[in-house]
Structure 1
Amino acid sequence: MVPTPTEQDQPKKAQTAPELLARCLDEIRSGEASWAECQAQPEVKAAGLGPLLDIAAQMERFPSLAPGPACLAHIRERLAERKRRRPVLRWAWALLAVLVALLTLGGTAWAASESLPGQPLYPFKRWGERVRLSWMRDAEARSTFLMELAERRLDEARRVCSTPQCPDWLLADLEQQTEAAAAEIERVSESRRPLLLARLVELTGRQQAVLEEVLERAPEAARAGLQRALERSRQGHERAFKALEKHRPTPPAREGNPPGLERQEAPTPHHSPGKPESPGRKASP
């Protein structure tokens, strides 16, 4: 049977440089060894820890610094003052940030409002429209804004679709926003609906006029999309006009004579012989 080696017989694992440095510092602080004895150890020399031990020895000569009572009181006072001012400064910085954002976004939004499809600021313009629409909850406000958006798409189509660069999605957005406005009008109260329907009839009529004008000078690549948009606009115009006719008040019927009765002419006054003529009335010739 082979005897197992004891822990003392097993070779010790070599310590790393940080472990050697920590062991030396512990021995020096506990009084087990001096600085010179630690530096003379073979493993310390082999690890090149002599310069680090010299630096540690010099740092040990400096007295430990601790703040006095007056310094601590001053620090507490400054911290309390800063804590009192922090909410005011926080609100001030927040208001300043909002102001800068409004000025920046306002200028960018104004510049983006005139942008066209394909230009750098156009995505920002469409994003602002979607955000504004998402904040609206009233059906009348939404329908009014959607008709305004359809007006913008119509103007963009007029300016862009005369060239080969006429995107199909622009005409699709024109149709979608017009139909969305019509759907929102159906949610409006009966008393306010005719006014919005009249505006929708006017919008779809103007769409047909503009699209027909653009179609005449559009290149061949854009004519198919414009023709589809024109046909959809005509259909929307007919639907809006029929809905408006249903909401127009019916004029009251004229009251006629009851059946079987004819209008009777008033008797013509005449002078009977032998009777004096009524004062103020002339005799018939």
Structure 2
Amino acid sequence: MTTTLTDPPVRHLVLGANLAHLRTRCAVSPVHAAAAARAGTDELFRWESGQAPPPEQALQHLMHLYNQPPELFEVLARWATTTGEDSTPHALLDTAAGWQARLSATELHAVRVRAFSNYSVPALVRSSAYEDNLEQMRSGVLPGLTAEHRWPRPVVTGPHSWKHVDIILDASVLTRPFDVEAGNLEPLADQLKHLVKVAYGELADIRIISTATDYSVDVGDGDLLGLTLPAPPSPTVWVQVTRGSVTYLNGPQGQDHLAAFEKLSRRAETRPASAVLLHEAAARTAREGAEK
């Protein structure tokens, strides 16, 4: 289920996900957090589920309890009071310092992940060696990949609360080399081996769709990422990442993204991305790399 016009504004959903993540990371019970905020546990649940934003003073108390800097309070307080990008409640642009950590918190809070990529493997399932080499491609949609700019993100093999992980890969992702002239296919081979482990371990439903010419869905280059949050009515926040910011979407644009993903999913089901197919691609890439 995705968000509609009657669902909470996306800024409240992302704010709530961050509050819930901070409380969990600090090992604070709901009773303790509610008491610190001078509120009841029911109110705390409404804040963390994105149904309503906390009052400014309550937010201040929570930031103090979680030992967070004033800069984070300023960002979250702005989300609690402003309407959103272009005066719409269904788009939230985050360009402030620390946006990567806030994105990671939202990702960790999700219970279901939908991801499509026609350029590289989605960030949530990249191997470290593959990620280290992506900077060579110098793409604006692949942020935070160099050591000095990287931020911690959950992956399907790491700690998270995801119950469902649906990944659709464009077939071209499996064959795109990094540095053919230098014969460096090791990063791609490493990534394919990583995907084999993910598929065989049933950590995610990975499927492959034939090349982009076979479908007419405008998702651009990079990830189409949908994060379904645990709060009723299980809203989905769609994420668009650029080199210096992240945009969260729901409402009409969220519905469009869901429709696009479902269309891709129907096409992908005709070409299941079995672990065997991934294994064959990994072996072929390793062989080609050795021959260069």
Short-chain TM bin = under 0.3
| Larger relative strand fraction | 2
Which has the higher Rg, Structure 1 or Structure 2? 1
| Larger relative helix fraction | 1
Normalising by the residue count of structure 2, what TM-score does the alignment of the two structures yield? 0.27
Normalising by the residue count of structure 1, what TM-score does the alignment of the two structures yield? 0.28
